[in-house]
């Protein structure tokens, strides 16, 4: 090995261990003189990283620091996430990734991922040859048009695929070299970005119509040829495009849309858990949605499937779900409907949200609006009037976009709400008067976020482990049930309807096993079934420790 090659070991993030190279390794690899004398364990390195994180003055600075750690020592980065996921996940994904995307062009340090522009039409397959790994298994792609609840961020949305793939690796053990973040950068209609001299994206208004779908199809077909085992995850597309792409490819390509199907699976798991607190039979469940876009209708579709499994007809199941958007209660008279939300437009008069709660008497209200404060005090109080334990899911993220805070949900419901959110909230100490006397009971709630990270890594791992041809809706239904089984009585007693994040690799393994089992049952798995499916999946999970 030449001196240059030896030196390059320290600059290859997949190989570099820095001070964790022993003196013997330094001798054998030609690294003597290139490192300080001291050696370190990975455990000690993690302590050093945590100490440096504490010295940062803001979460965006911590995000930048962690991104640079990923660039120089990949295994240390992922081991850190695995061991400290409660602390690190909010820094590498929601809520901090929202700010990172807004400021992506300003905080740019080093290119990561693959970029496609309209000028690349006709060249995408040859461009994929430029990527230095020919065994890609997981692709996350966005066009940046609907980033979280922040809107059109154009090329700045690349922070989302980067963050999602970090979760695929840390939560489900997908090897980093098999991951490819993709920005489908076809412009932006955000004038502030177009006028920003630091903006890194394609500096034109968005490509749309047939030209948009032709360019996307070129990419999809190039992936089928270049990376035939790859799973494609669509992320943060505007609802009409999200549903159009899913409809076009879901039956022929190994792909899914996380905002539609992943969100639906997580929400369904939460509802399964919530019924153990509320006592309401799932077959009797009624839900009111605020927001009628891809996330809400994705949740609705999988909930309808679950209600049908309980014995309801398709029409009966859909009648249980009512939707509000910015125009009001969606019905054929007062809303401009699209194919994806048309099935949920009921022939009912328009009314206020509070009136709809009194009329429909929903057991749950689910927000995916991107509009902070949408769950007002009067709405939560109305839900509490018709339910002993109202289910309040404020799922918009980042945290600044939540429909209400955890504290508001518990306070306005007098401590009776079953709450979940799209981004994390701190535990809430709720003081309740004891039977009208002056003494008070104190209860501490530990709300957990209904984060898609609970399901999409496990679904992806399961699909890849059995080499599924496609990912039909049945696999998301299966994942929801598998996640719900992970929630124990202790979780429920403290107001948590999702398991602790520090158990997420085990949860991903359980979900992956259930998903792969279902794929074999459906006849869509291409790999011969191993004798012990769970052990096989566990054996292929990436371990970053050294």
Instruction: Give 85's strand partners.
Output: none
Lowest mean pLDDT among 116-120, 275-279, 440-444, 446-450: 440-444
Per-residue pLDDT band for 335 (boundaries 50, 70, 90) equals low
Q: For residues 381 and 411, is the Cβ–Cβ distance under 8 A?
A: no
Q: For residues 322 and 289, is the Cβ–Cβ distance under 8 A?
A: yes
Q: Is 184 in the same domain as 297?
A: no
pLDDT of residue 97: 96
Q: Is 222 in the same domain as 102?
A: yes
Q: Please check the confidence at residue 209 and state whether its pLDDT lies above 60.
A: yes
The DSSP call for residue 411 is H
Q: Is 235 in the same domain as 295?
A: no
| Domains held by the chain: number | 3
Structure-block tokens of residue 286? 């009624």
pLDDT of residue 326: 85
Q: Please check the confidence at residue 470 and state whether its pLDDT lies above 80.
A: yes
For 142-181, b where at least 16 C-beta lie within 10 A, e where not — what string? bbbbbbbbbebbbbbbbbbbbbbbbbbbbbbbbbbebbbb
Percent of the chain with pLDDT over 70: 97
pLDDT of residue 435: 46
Render pLDDT for 250-287 as a digit per residue (tens, 0 to 9).
Answer: 999 999 999 999 999 999 999 999 999 999 999 999 99
Does some domain include residue 538? no
Render pLDDT for 310-325 as a digit per residue (tens, 0 to 9).
Answer: 999 999 999 999 999 8
Q: For residues 234 and 258, is the Cβ–Cβ distance under 8 A?
A: yes
pLDDT of residue 7: 84
Per-residue pLDDT band for 334 (boundaries 50, 70, 90) equals low
Does some domain include residue 457? no
Does some domain include residue 304? yes
DSSP string, 4-26: HHHHHHTT-TTT--GGGS-HHHH
Annotated catalytic residue within 63, 77, 78, 93: 93
Q: Is 418 in the same domain as 372?
A: yes
> Residue 409: which of 285, 350, 497 has the closest Cα?
497
Does some domain include residue 470? no
Structure-block tokens of residue 440? 């008070």
Does some domain include residue 543? no
Q: Is 309 in the same domain as 439?
A: yes
Catalytic residue check, 164: yes
Q: Please check the confidence at residue 479 and state whether its pLDDT lies above 90.
A: yes
Does some domain include residue 366? yes
Average pLDDT over residues 477-496: 94
3-state SS, residue 343: helix
Per-residue pLDDT band for 333 (boundaries 50, 70, 90) equals confident
Structure-block tokens of residue 539? 């054996």
403, 422, 452 - which closes a domain = 452
Does some domain include residue 248? yes
416, 432, 452 - which closes a domain = 452
Q: Is 289 in the same domain as 408?
A: yes
Average pLDDT over residues 41-56: 98
Domain span holding position 18: 1-40
| Pairing between β-strand 391-394 and β-strand 418-421 as defined by DSSP bridges | parallel
Residue 441 is part of a domain; what is its CATH number?
3.40.50.720
Q: Is 17 in the same domain as 99?
A: no
Q: Please check the confidence at residue 450 and state whether its pLDDT lies above 70.
A: yes
**CA separation (Å) from 433 to 30, 441, 443?**
70, 6, 11
Render pLDDT for 128-176 as a digit per residue (tens, 0 to 9).
Answer: 999 999 999 999 999 999 998 899 999 999 999 999 999 999 999 999 9
Average pLDDT over residues 83-110: 96
Q: Is 294 in the same domain as 330?
A: yes
pLDDT of residue 1: 42
pLDDT of residue 36: 97
Per-residue pLDDT band for 440 (boundaries 50, 70, 90) equals low
Q: For residues 14 and 176, is the Cβ–Cβ distance under 8 A?
A: yes
**Measured distance CA(84)–CA(81) in Å, rounded:** 5
Structure-block tokens of residue 232? 């494609």
pLDDT of residue 398: 82
3-state SS, residue 100: helix
The DSSP call for residue 468 is B
404, 422, 452 - which closes a domain = 452
Q: Is 318 in the same domain as 242?
A: no
Q: Is 448 in the same domain as 317?
A: yes
Q: Is 276 in the same domain as 129?
A: no
Average pLDDT over residues 498-503: 92
> Residue 167: which of 108, 104, 92 has the closest Cα?
92
Does some domain include residue 412? yes
> Residue 66: which of 159, 145, 155 has the closest Cα?
159
3-state SS, residue 384: helix
Render pLDDT for 221-259 as a digit per residue (tens, 0 to 9).
Answer: 999 999 999 999 999 999 999 999 999 999 999 999 999
Catalytic residue check, 248: no
Q: Please check the confidence at residue 43 and state whether its pLDDT lies above 90.
A: yes
Q: Please check the confidence at residue 437 and state whether its pLDDT lies above 70.
A: no
pLDDT of residue 399: 86
The dihedrals phi and psi of 286, each to the nearest 5 degrees, come to: -125, 140
Residue 194 is part of a domain; what is its CATH number?
3.40.50.10380
Q: Is 32 in the same domain as 123?
A: no
**CA separation (Å) from 320 to 282, 301, 349?**
11, 12, 16
pLDDT of residue 388: 97
Annotated catalytic residue within 17, 77, 78, 164: 164
């Amino acid at each position: 090995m030449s001196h240059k090659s030896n030196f390059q070991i320290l600059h290859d993030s997949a190989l570099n261990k820095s001070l964790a190279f022993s003196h013997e390794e330094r001798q054998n690899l030609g690294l003597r003189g290139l490192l300080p004398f001291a050696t370190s364990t990975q455990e000690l390195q993690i302590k050093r990283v945590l100490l440096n994180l504490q010295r940062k003055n803001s979460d965006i600075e911590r995000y930048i620091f962690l991104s640079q750690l990923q660039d120089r020592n990949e295994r240390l980065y992922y081991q850190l996430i695995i061991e400290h996921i409660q602390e690190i996940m909010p820094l590498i994904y929601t809520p901090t990734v929202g700010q990172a995307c807004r400021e992506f062009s300003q905080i740019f340090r080093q290119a990561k991922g693959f970029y496609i522009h309209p000028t690349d039409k006709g060249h995408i397959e040859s461009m994929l040859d430029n990527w230095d790994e020919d065994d890609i298994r997981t692709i996350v792609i966005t066009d940046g048009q609907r980033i979280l609840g922040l809107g059109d961020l154009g090329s700045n949305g690349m922070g989302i695929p980067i963050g999602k793939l970090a979760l695929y690796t840390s939560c489900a053990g997908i090897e980093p070299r098999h991951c490819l973040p993709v920005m489908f950068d076809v412009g932006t209609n955000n004038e502030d970005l177009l006028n920003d001299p630091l903006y890194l994206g394609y500096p034109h208004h968005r490509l749309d119509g047939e030209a948009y779908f032709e360019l996307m199809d070129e990419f999809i077909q190039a992936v089928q040829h270049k990376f035939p085992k790859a799973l494609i995850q669509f992320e943060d597309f505007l609802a009409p495009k999200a549903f159009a792409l899913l409809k076009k490819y879901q039956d022929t390509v190994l792909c899914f849309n996380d905002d539609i199907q992943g969100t639906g699976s997580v929400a369904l798991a939460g509802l399964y858990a919530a019924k153990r607190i509320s006592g309401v039979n799932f077959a009797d469940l009624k839900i009111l949605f605020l927001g009628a876009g891809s996330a809400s209708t994705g949740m609705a579709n999988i909930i309808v499937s679950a209600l049908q499994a309980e014995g309801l007809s398709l029409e009966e199941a859909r009648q249980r779900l009512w939707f509000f958007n910015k125009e009001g209660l969606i019905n054929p008279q007062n809303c401009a409907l699209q194919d994806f939300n048309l099935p949920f437009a009921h022939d009912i008069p328009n009314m206020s949200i509070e009136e709809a709660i009194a009329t429909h008497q929903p057991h749950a209200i689910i927000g995916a609006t991107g509009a902070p404060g949408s769950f007002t005090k009067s709405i939560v109080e109305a839900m509490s009037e018709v339910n002993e334990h109202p289910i309040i899911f404020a799922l918009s993220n980042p945290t600044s976009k939540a429909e209400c805070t955890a504290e508001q949900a518990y306070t306005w419901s007098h401590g009776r709400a079953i709450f979940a959110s799209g981004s994390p909230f701190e535990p809430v100490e709720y003081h309740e008067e004891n039977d009208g006397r002056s003494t008070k009971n104190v209860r501490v709630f530990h709300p957990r976020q209904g984060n898609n990270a609970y399901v999409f890594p496990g679904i992806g791992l399961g699909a890849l482990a059995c080499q599924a041809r496609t990912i039909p809706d049945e696999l998301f239904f299966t994942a929801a049930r598998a996640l719900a089984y992970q929630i124990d009585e202790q979780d429920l007693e403290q107001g948590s309807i999702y398991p602790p994040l520090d158990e997420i690799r085990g949860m991903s393994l359980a979900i992956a096993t259930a998903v792969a089992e279902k794929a074999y049952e459906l006849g869509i798995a291409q790999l011969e079934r191993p004798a012990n499916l769970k052990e096989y999946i566990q054996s292929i999970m990436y371990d970053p420790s050294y």
